[in-house]
Structure 1
Amino acid sequence: MKVLFVSAEVAPYSKTGGLGDVASALPGALERMGHELTVVSPMYRRVSDGAHRLHDVYPEIPIPAIGARFDAILADDGRNWFVDYPPYFGREGIYRNDGDEHSRFLLLTHAALELCRRRGWSPDIVHVNDWHTGFMPLFLRSIYGSDPLFARAQSVFTIHNLGYQGVFGSHIVDDLALGSSRYLLHQEHLRAGRVSFMEHALIYSDAITTVSPTYAYEIQTPEHGFGLDAMLRHRSRDVFGILNGIDPEVWNPSSDPYLPSPYSASELEGKHANKAALLARARIDPDQGFLTVGIVTRLSAQKGIEIALRPLARRLDAGHIRLVVLGSGERRYEEAFGWLAAAFPGRAHFQNGYDESMAHLIEGGADVFLMPSLYEPSGLNQMYSLAYGTPPIVRRTGGLADSVTHYDPARGEGTGFVFDHYSEGGVGWALDQALTLFQNKAQWQILQRNGMAEDNSWERRALEYDRIYRRVTGEEQP
């Protein structure tokens, strides 16, 4: 099939989180299955900084609906296309709070379809991601609905995080350029003065996917539905949960260039050398007898930071653990981790920001990886941790519940430590479970190898997307 894949970010060109990784790895896996992919994302300033080989293929492509023109830039891989429109994408950063944020991503949506027109390329599937491209399914039924090029195109919309919906005031209606199709907007909400990108994707897409089976269930409940649970329940037959995957070319302890000592499930000795390197880099006491807890995260309320701080502080104070944290985000959490590092020198380290080499070293050198999330649509770091023999400590929610099972020493089954209650007590219980098992090296190695045996590859996930593509195009029965 021909698949048009549109995303606000695509790694390694542009990335702030998991969406960028998915938009890179999933199309690659689909290509290896035999599908023909065109991936479209914005030409942000960071994309054009000279680090990537790019080719200006189609200059001055018009977008009649909004009266703009853009250049279509192709990467060397022949799959990734970029929408070059400096007034919108030449600014610093990827996401902004500018007054025209909605217009930036409406232009991306139009441009993806106009690129297809210029190439004469007729997609079978138009796969769009998160609120930024949420109006694509409606555009296919309205503005572009009479174009034979898109006559067979079916739309698939993936929710990566329902908490970000792209809600704007009703003043943006003219910018949608719907003309006589304006009646297709959610009229009740329009009268209430708001327009939601994601809401319209849920109404008009042919299939809705999200990034784990548990999250697909959770978002249909009032607790996690962010006001869209009723709409999602109404469309429940078309809602599918597919875990994200990881790229073993990038996340593989036996070939990771960021690790000083490669290792595998059959030869775990290298992990000790990586732990030594991590402790040295973090300026932490080199004694490897202590459980080293690693965290790599965006510092936000969603990530469960508030229920982790006191349990970590107590165990640092008792001398039971060592802690290495890499991340940035809300100032209150940056300050809290900064305080921990200052209060426990030689036991705790906090690096504010993101560093790819440090992220890999934490995965390869820490003993456990902590993810106490309030909610977690899919999560990737717990899967990296499994692959690296670094048992995850997670709360049972979303993709964490689908990818990590609690270890049972009696049966030697399980891949990590899982707690249910969103509380300091839950985090403390899970840390103590890990501390106890850590003293039994034979059991610990069973746990490590269990995780390293898990198949979280994108090849496996791509098969599930392929089934959905075939379902919506009528090639496979529901």
Structure 2
Amino acid sequence: LSWAPDIIHCNDWQTGLIPLYIKDNYSWDKLFANTASLFTIHNVAYQGRFGHGTLTNAEITNDLYYPGGPVEFENTVSFLKTGIVFTDIINTVSETYAREILTNEYGAGMQYVLRERQHELYGIINGVDYEVWNPETDKYIPHHFSINDLSGKSRNKKFQLTRLGLPFDENVPLIGIVSRMVAQKGFDLIAQVMNELMKLDCQFMILGTGEDKYENICRSMEFYYKDKVRAYIGYSNELAHLTEAASDMFLMPSHYEPCGLNQIYSLKYGTVPIVRKTGGLADTVQDWNEYNSYGMDVGNGYSFEAYEGFALENAVKRAINDFHNKPVWEKIMKNGMARDYSWRKSAEKYVELYNKAISKRRG
């Protein structure tokens, strides 16, 4: 190509060798003498770990492989660790997750490596494409609506419930879930309090696939509570959009969530998120009751900290209670709809990190 990039933006373990190649394998090539790198971690649990033979296959010098060395991790060659060690700047996909992965609970063993570089570790929330996820233009929903005219949201709810064969009552909240059905997404908590949730005056629309036991729990919820629950085991892009547009609330009780996107979609659609306060969920969802207790009416959802079923249940109850106070509920909806999580804002922050990396590389 005969041109030198100012920066190479590497994403996850699959690109973890690039910073090493720039600084070692191709250090002789003056073309890359000023090329910096940014390494983005989307999920620290995915570490790209391979056997010792990878050193030869990947042309990594044996001098870098020793206990605690820059490419060695628990007797394997880790591409993730390699990227962390050799890149100029590191970031992950939310400020809270950037702090969490420094801890023993969330670091997946990589926390010790990251702590060595914590002053060069940043968090930037993922952006969303509002040309695709926008209730004013969404091609998958029958009734468009906006922050200035919410009437279409109730019509979407009625459309969705009628289509699903569930009774429509504007005073009964519909709670949506679009997720992989796995413990990491909090389905173990849902299983803990399933019977208690079914006693509440609300309905559920659940969409996704995952572990058999959680799929079967969702099927049983629909079987035993035919007037309250519909579970679609599979994935439908149309149904995902409809669920966002029609639901009054959106449940995301994740054990950990580096960023999360569905809570951001939900905010745009006036679908009030109920989340566990972790990772990107903590950065994008502000608990209405918590902020209201400080005299601030800026909350846009509900959150809980303890990874316990009762904490999830309590958050859902608080949301349902406020749902019946229509002026308060509309305020919460509009607080969320007014937020801007477009890629434009995230891109501006990435440009800042590019400049940091370039400055560091060039000294």
Q: TM-score, normalised by structure 1?
A: 0.71
Report Cα offsets for 1:38-69 as digits up to 9, x if no partner. Answer: xxxxxxxxxxxxxxxxxxxxxxxxxxxxxxxx
- Residue 329 of structure 1 is matched in structure 2 by 210
Match of 2:109 among 227, 241, 250: 227
Report Cα offsets for 1:96-122 as digits up to 9, x if no partner. Answer: xxxxxxxxxxxxxxxxxxxxxxx3342
Residue 237 of structure 1 and its aligned partner are, at CA, apart by: 1.2
Q: Does 1:134 align with 2:16?
A: yes
Residues 281 and 173 of structure 1, relative CA distance in 2, 3 Å threshold: farther
Q: Does 1:346 align with 2:231?
A: no
Rounded Cα–Cα distance in structure 1 between residues aligned with 2:316 and 2:37: 44
Rounded Cα–Cα distance in structure 1 between residues aligned with 2:299 and 2:358: 38
Residues 223 and 140 of structure 1, relative CA distance in 2, 3 Å threshold: same
Residue 312 of structure 1 and its aligned partner are, at CA, apart by: 4.0
The question of whether the paired residues in 1 share the 8 Å contact of 2:173 and 2:249 is answered with yes
Match of 1:252 among 117, 126, 134: 134
Q: Which runs of 5+ in 1 are unaligned?
A: 1-118
Rounded Cα–Cα distance in structure 2 between residues aligned with 1:140 and 1:187: 23
Residue 145 of structure 1 and its aligned partner are, at CA, apart by: 2.5
The question of whether the paired residues in 1 share the 8 Å contact of 2:36 and 2:88 is answered with yes
Residue 399 of structure 1 and its aligned partner are, at CA, apart by: 0.7
Q: Does 1:432 align with 2:317?
A: yes
- Residue 63 of structure 2 is matched in structure 1 by 183
Residues 221 and 193 of structure 1, relative CA distance in 2, 3 Å threshold: closer
Q: How many residues are aligned here? A: 357
Deviates more, 1:394-403 or 1:145-154: 145-154
Residue 319 of structure 1 and its aligned partner are, at CA, apart by: 5.4
Q: 1:129-208 maps to which residues of 2 (within 5 A)?
A: 129-178=11-60, 181-188=61-68, 190=72, 193-208=75-90
The question of whether the paired residues in 2 share the 8 Å contact of 1:297 and 1:326 is answered with yes
Residues 369 and 186 of structure 1, relative CA distance in 2, 3 Å threshold: farther
Residues 197 and 383 of structure 1, relative CA distance in 2, 3 Å threshold: same
| Structure holding more strand per residue | 1
Q: Does 1:473 align with 2:358?
A: yes
Q: Find the residue that maps to 1:142 and give its secondary structure.
A: helix
Residue 411 of structure 1 and its aligned partner are, at CA, apart by: 4.3
Residue 356 of structure 1 and its aligned partner are, at CA, apart by: 0.9
- Residue 23 of structure 1 is matched in structure 2 by none
Residues 312 and 440 of structure 1, relative CA distance in 2, 3 Å threshold: farther
Match of 1:296 among 178, 188, 194: 178
- Residue 277 of structure 2 is matched in structure 1 by 396
Rounded Cα–Cα distance in structure 1 between residues aligned with 2:26 and 2:360: 24
Percent identity reads 39
Amino acid paired to 1:366: S
Rounded Cα–Cα distance in structure 2 between residues aligned with 1:407 and 1:186: 51
The question of whether the paired residues in 2 share the 8 Å contact of 1:259 and 1:361 is answered with yes
The question of whether the paired residues in 2 share the 8 Å contact of 1:157 and 1:208 is answered with yes
Match of 2:93 among 194, 200, 211: 211
Residues 397 and 457 of structure 1, relative CA distance in 2, 3 Å threshold: same
Q: Find the residue that maps to 1:177 and give its secondary structure.
A: coil
Deviates more, 1:246-255 or 1:181-190: 181-190
Rounded Cα–Cα distance in structure 2 between residues aligned with 1:476 and 1:173: 26
Greater relative contact order (Cα < 8 A, sep 6+)? 2
Rounded Cα–Cα distance in structure 2 between residues aligned with 1:287 and 1:191: 56
Residue 280 of structure 1 and its aligned partner are, at CA, apart by: 2.5
Rounded Cα–Cα distance in structure 1 between residues aligned with 2:111 and 2:303: 26
Report Cα offsets for 1:190-226 as digits up to 9, x if no partner. Answer: 5963111111111111110001111111100111111
Residue 381 of structure 1 and its aligned partner are, at CA, apart by: 0.8
Report Cα offsets for 1:282-323 as digits up to 9, x if no partner. Answer: 32222332111101111222111111234343232x251111
- Residue 380 of structure 1 is matched in structure 2 by 261
Amino acid paired to 2:257: E
- Residue 201 of structure 2 is matched in structure 1 by 320
Residues 345 and 425 of structure 1, relative CA distance in 2, 3 Å threshold: same
Q: Find the residue that maps to 1:474 and give its secondary structure.
A: helix
Rounded Cα–Cα distance in structure 2 between residues aligned with 1:256 and 1:393: 23
Report Cα offsets for 1:321-358 as digits up to 9, x if no partner. Answer: 11111111222211111211122113111111221111
Q: Find the residue that maps to 2:178 and give its secondary structure.
A: strand
Q: 1:13-24 maps to which residues of 2 (within 5 A)?
A: none
Q: Which runs of 5+ in 2 are unaligned?
A: none
Residue 441 of structure 1 and its aligned partner are, at CA, apart by: 1.0
- Residue 420 of structure 1 is matched in structure 2 by 305
The question of whether the paired residues in 2 share the 8 Å contact of 1:185 and 1:200 is answered with no
Residues 353 and 236 of structure 1, relative CA distance in 2, 3 Å threshold: same
Q: TM-score, normalised by structure 2?
A: 0.93
CA RMSD of aligned residues (A): 2.0
Residue 156 of structure 1 and its aligned partner are, at CA, apart by: 0.6
